[in-house]
Amino acid sequence: MKAIEVENLTKIYKSRSRRNDIMALSNLSLSVQKGQIFGLLGPNGAGKTTFIKILLGITHPTLGTGSMLGETIKNYKNKSRVGYLPENHKYPHYLNAEQILKYFARLGGYKSNDLTGRIDHLLKIVNMEKWKKVKIKKYSKGMMQRLGLALSMVNEPEIIFLDEPTDGVDPIGRKEIRDILLNLKSEGKTIFVNSHLLSEVELISDKVAILNKGKLIREGSVEELTTTKQVYQIEIEETPKNTELFNNTNYSLIESNGNKYTFKFDSSESLNTLIDEIRAKKLNLLSVIPKKHSLEEMFINLINDNEKQNL
């Protein structure tokens, strides 16, 4: 079942002169299944925050439609079913975690006496129980992000939108946040994450979409986006003396490093042909590994290609 679906979403930020109008989103269609962790990736200014703001009703689309949890995004009542951690959030420094959580819960319609237990539970989820009575001004960036996460869950949301949740957080803090998100997913929550920290998103997302200048340029599972077709690295114990081994029209040597050779094959049969040749020459085959791009390599190639096409 779909948690989010948008069709042909376009957002133009109008300026006094038309020349300065900004097309933040252009004809964007995508969907997120319930229970998924979905990563929206893109360089600065790609339109990621604008997308979340449209779904939350903070800004409106110029064209296009969208739905969340089966209701149109125009339905304001539905917003009580979602949570939001904005980018660069700031809370009053003189409050402590308990006070700010109470404040947000009251804004969300909860009564003070419903909250005993709930606030402790939220602080436990984000590992902040010990900081309940400590003023926010003493918090590190990682703690600020974890408090933000607790705040985004105050109304028991079905979908949680997180805009750059690990921005400025150290590797240990980032791992903690990833673990929290995976736990939330295991409870059936849908999580929508905006990020440019690709190695992070790679570790937790079920599906990712890549935006550049408001346009969707790729969408799929991390596996689909990072697998390079028919490219394998082959490791041989000794360096073969006869280089003819690598001359075949069905495969080509792309790269060699010591006794590791990377080939591109035209089919899986030609991979087997090469293996047969290696064995026939009595060379010892150590490993055959399908080559993968990291999400970051794929992202950089994709954005560069997209920029060239737009020149």
Ligand X SMILES: Nc1ncnc2c1ncn2[C@@H]1O[C@H](COP(=O)(O)OP(=O)(O)OP(=O)(O)O)[C@@H](O)[C@H]1O
Q: Give exposure, 62-77, as e/b (b: 16+ Cβ within 10 Å).
A: bebebbbbeeebeeee
Residue span binding ligand X (CB under 6 A) among the ranges 43-51, 145-153, 240-248, 263-271: 43-51
Q: At closest approach, how far in Å is the CB of 37 from ligand X?
A: 18
Share in percent of the chain as helix, strand, coil (round to 5):
40, 30, 30
45 binds ligand X (CB under 6 A): yes
Q: At closest approach, how far in Å is the CB of 290 from ligand X?
A: 32
> How far is Cα 102 from Cα 6, in angstroms, rounded to an integer?
33
145 binds Mg ion (CB under 5 A): no
- Comparing CB distances to Mg ion, the nearer of 24 and 278 is 24
Nearest CA among 79, 14, 90, 11 for reference residue 48: 11
**How crowded is residue 146: how many other Cβ atoms within 10 Å of its Cβ?**
25
47 binds ligand X (CB under 6 A): yes
* Selected binder of ligand X within 12, 22, 95, 144 (CB under 6 A): 22
- What backbone torsions phi and psi does residue 140 show, to the nearest 5 degrees? -80, 175
The item of ligand X, Mg ion, none sharing an interface with residue 44, based on CB under 5 to 8 Å by kind, is ligand X
240 binds ligand X (CB under 6 A): no
Helical (H) or strand (E) element with 65: strand 63-68
* Selected binder of ligand X within 48, 79, 174, 189 (CB under 6 A): 48
- Comparing CB distances to ligand X, the nearer of 56 and 125 is 56
> How far is Cα 48 from Cα 198, in angstroms, rounded to an integer?
14
Query: Residue 308: is it exposed, middle or buried by C-beta count within 10 angstroms (0-12/13-18/19+)?
Result: exposed
Residues numbered 34 to 93 that lie near Mg ion (CB under 5 A) are 48-49
- What backbone torsions phi and psi does residue 199 show, to the nearest 5 degrees? -65, -30
195 binds Mg ion (CB under 5 A): no
Residue span binding ligand X (CB under 6 A) among the ranges 37-45, 65-73, 132-140, 264-272: 37-45
42 binds ligand X (CB under 6 A): yes
Q: At closest approach, how far in Å is the CB of 294 from ligand X?
A: 20
* Selected binder of ligand X within 3, 4, 9, 24 (CB under 6 A): 24
> How far is Cα 253 from Cα 78, in angstroms, rounded to an integer?
56
**Site for Mg ion, rule CB under 5 A:** 48-49
